[in-house]
Structure 1
Amino acid sequence: MQSYTTASLLWLAVFLGCQQVAPPDPIATIQGQTMGTTYHIRAVTGPEGPQRLIKIQERVDELLAQVNHQMSTYDPESELSRFNQAPAGEWFPVSSQLIEVVDAARQISDATDGAFDVTVGPSVNLWRFGPDKKRKEFPTDQEIAQASKLVGYQQVEIQSDPPALRKAQDDVYVDLSAIAKGYGVDAVYELIKAEGFTDFMVEIGGEVRATGLKPNGDPWKIGIETPADDVRQYDLVVGLHDRALATSGDYRNFFKHDGKRYSHTINPKTGRPVEHDLASVSVLFENCMLADGYATAFLVLGPVEGYNFAQEHNLPVFFQMRKEDGTVETKATTAWQQYQSN
């Protein structure tokens, strides 16, 4: 009995000893909710272990809450909502962060000849894709024309010092939903980087920015969803290294009327949902804010004009088109192919 007990204790000591020296998982993950979706952060933590990342989650949540309170149209007290409610002709004080995003949106609008337009909000709301989803009636041609009179990014002026916005008509309505998530990714990315992390990825609602490598030397692997209404399927994986990736598609937010499918992506020039067969666009960029905005712009431009623009500007873009037989056709720009081959 004595020898049995000694042997058991010896085995237990060896077992516990092995447990004590076992290295922790070198990649830590934190997650939460923001902007009506979720966020995930994965980081190589080093010898300090997961607590190194976990201890800054409160700061991440505070930062994202600040971004949401600046740029959400779903929060009636946000900076953006209060600007939308303000009268025309007067400079409305806002944060420098809001100015940064509106200015970036203007740059994309200029580059794409208005395919991206943050003043498309009245048309978005008319088609039941905005914060107010109470409307049930299908919009009339007259209503579409009336809403379109309020659309035009040139109707919003930007002042940097002091930061302020001014609009040309009372009912001009700015909606940053197509670029604010990307900005949020960048803001969190800079926070994590400032904390000394060198190998990590930040994702908010499918928009991602990553830097460095995983412990095994591989880049961060990001799946691109194949456009399908009822299933989640990933047929392409991108190795993301010091880049941001944003995807815009019509396969999650749409409705059908009289058998016809209506996308949530509104063409600012027509005031109506886009009608081409481009179902999804993925864009690689140095930062996520621009990747996010350009992904929406390409979804408006469509598979031909969008592809030609991306080729001309040497942008890495991946297009997925939904064909009439239900299959998906893909097309990648030269810059995208080069990135994938590296």
Structure 2
Amino acid sequence: MNLRKLDLLRGCAFGLLSVGLAGCDSGADPRAQGSRLESFGGPTMGSSYSVSYVRRADQPGVAAVQPEVQAILAEVDRQMSTWRSDSDIERFNALPADSCQAMPEPVLQLVRLGEQLSQTSEGRYDLTVEPLLNLWGFGPQSRTEQVPDADQLAQARRRVGHQHLRIEDQRLCKDAAVEVDFNSIAAGYAVDRISARIQALGIKDYLVEATGELKAVGKKADGSPWLIGLEQPRDDQRIAQRVIALDGYGVSTSGDYRKYFLRDGHRYSHTLDALTGAPVEQALASVTVMHPSALMADGLSTLLLILGPERGWDYAEQHHVAAFFVIRDGKGFIIRSNRAFDQLSGGDAVPTKLANDATKG
């Protein structure tokens, strides 16, 4: 599968991720009679996915669960991938202005969410940024990373804007040659779909991960919590700066510290502000969001990263978003989490400074 989420690190199924997984059982605790930890995973969305769950005597094994998960991931790829020309959304993207196309309900669901996030961010977050991503060198049709001139930027911006989309019955329509990019929310959507399917199979304790998006419910076989390590935004190595217990929430981290290019001493991140058409330039290195929906955590983490450390913080407070900010400060970072995040993770809300001499930018 080729659908990639550009603003997350890719990690293995077990071990520390961008929003890392820690503390996985290797088997059942002797006290947990009749249960054991089952795990499986594989490639997806240009990266990987993993599922760990506590299997009890009356619950299905991996041979029954894994095909269900893979079917969901394959469906997401067919509907939403911008990295295959025959997906539903890429066939829509290839249409000219004043066109409509019948769409499956999941695609329309994500378009509606994109409109909501675009409106509440005053247009800075937008699903139609693919022409800009391609122009700067970060998109599926990119040839090379570049700093576009004013004319190129103005031309691409005419094809950006959620106001150019509308839904008529089960059709998605556009009045300009816009192109929709679901890379900031598709993985979170997939995690929610997998989570719902696993619950429908009677499994009550599990952790689902796809391309770094996570959701955990219940406990491990020994009764201990699922533990998630939040990674420092470093270029040189992966170090957890905070570990949280997770139960009933999705977690997403968006950052600008891995996907960028340097030109004439200037650092250009892949995270674009749809209003300016240019990469965001601010001190916010990464944002982690906790939310009952992995889909919402996915979209909101990107939105807050685009807004930056001040506007993003105010948005999180106004909309009651549980958020954890890592802000550049010289050669180190200032870590700041809001009360909603600390109440869920058991931390404290006092900003702390983390030294990091090895970090670029």
Aligned to 1:254: 260
User: For the residues of structure 1 that align with 2:243 and 2:124, how far apart are their CA atoms?
Assistant: 28
Residue 270 of structure 1, CA deviation: 0.6
Please state whether the residue corresponding to 1:32 is helix, strand or coil.
strand
Aligned to 1:103: 112
Alignment of structure 1 residues 1-342 onto 2, 5 Å: 26-47=36-57, 52-159=61-168, 161=169, 163-169=170-176, 171-325=177-331, 327-341=332-346
Preserved CA contact (<8 Å) 1:43 1:53 = no
Cα distance, 1:47–1:146 mapped onto 2, change above 3 Å: same
> Which string of whole-angstrom CA distances, capped at 9 and with x for unpartnered residues, describes residues 165-221 of structure 1?
00111x211111001111111111111111110000110111101111122333211
User: For the residues of structure 2 that align with 1:149 and 1:64, how far apart are their CA atoms?
Assistant: 33
> Which string of whole-angstrom CA distances, capped at 9 and with x for unpartnered residues, describes residues 58-112 of structure 1?
2211220110110011010000000001122232101011111111111111222
Cα distance, 1:53–1:305 mapped onto 2, change above 3 Å: same
User: For the residues of structure 1 that align with 2:196 and 2:62, how far apart are their CA atoms?
Assistant: 14
The code of the aligned residue for 2:50 comes to H
Cα distance, 1:114–1:137 mapped onto 2, change above 3 Å: closer
Residue 244 of structure 1, CA deviation: 0.6
Where does structure 1 differ by over 6 angstroms across 4 or more consecutive aligned residues?
22-25
Preserved CA contact (<8 Å) 1:63 1:188 = yes
- By relative contact order (CA 8 Å, sep 6+), the higher-ranking structure is 2
User: For the residues of structure 2 that align with 1:304 and 1:277, how far apart are their CA atoms?
Assistant: 10
Preserved CA contact (<8 Å) 1:120 1:174 = yes
User: For the residues of structure 2 that align with 1:136 and 1:251, how far apart are their CA atoms?
Assistant: 16
TM-score of the aligned structures, taking structure 2 as reference length: 0.84
User: For the residues of structure 2 that align with 1:99 and 1:211, how far apart are their CA atoms?
Assistant: 27
**What percent of counterpart residues are identical?**
38
Gaps spanning 5+ residues in structure 2: where?
1-31, 348-361
Q: Higher helix fraction: Structure 1 or Structure 2? A: 1
Preserved CA contact (<8 Å) 1:314 1:334 = no
Residue 237 of structure 1, CA deviation: 1.1
The code of the aligned residue for 2:88 comes to E
User: For the residues of structure 1 that align with 2:218 and 2:62, how far apart are their CA atoms?
Assistant: 16
User: For the residues of structure 1 that align with 2:277 and 2:302, how far apart are their CA atoms?
Assistant: 15
Q: Which moved more, 1:241-250 or 1:109-118?
A: 109-118
Please state whether the residue corresponding to 1:59 is helix, strand or coil.
helix
Preserved CA contact (<8 Å) 2:97 2:175 = yes
Rg bigger for which structure? 1
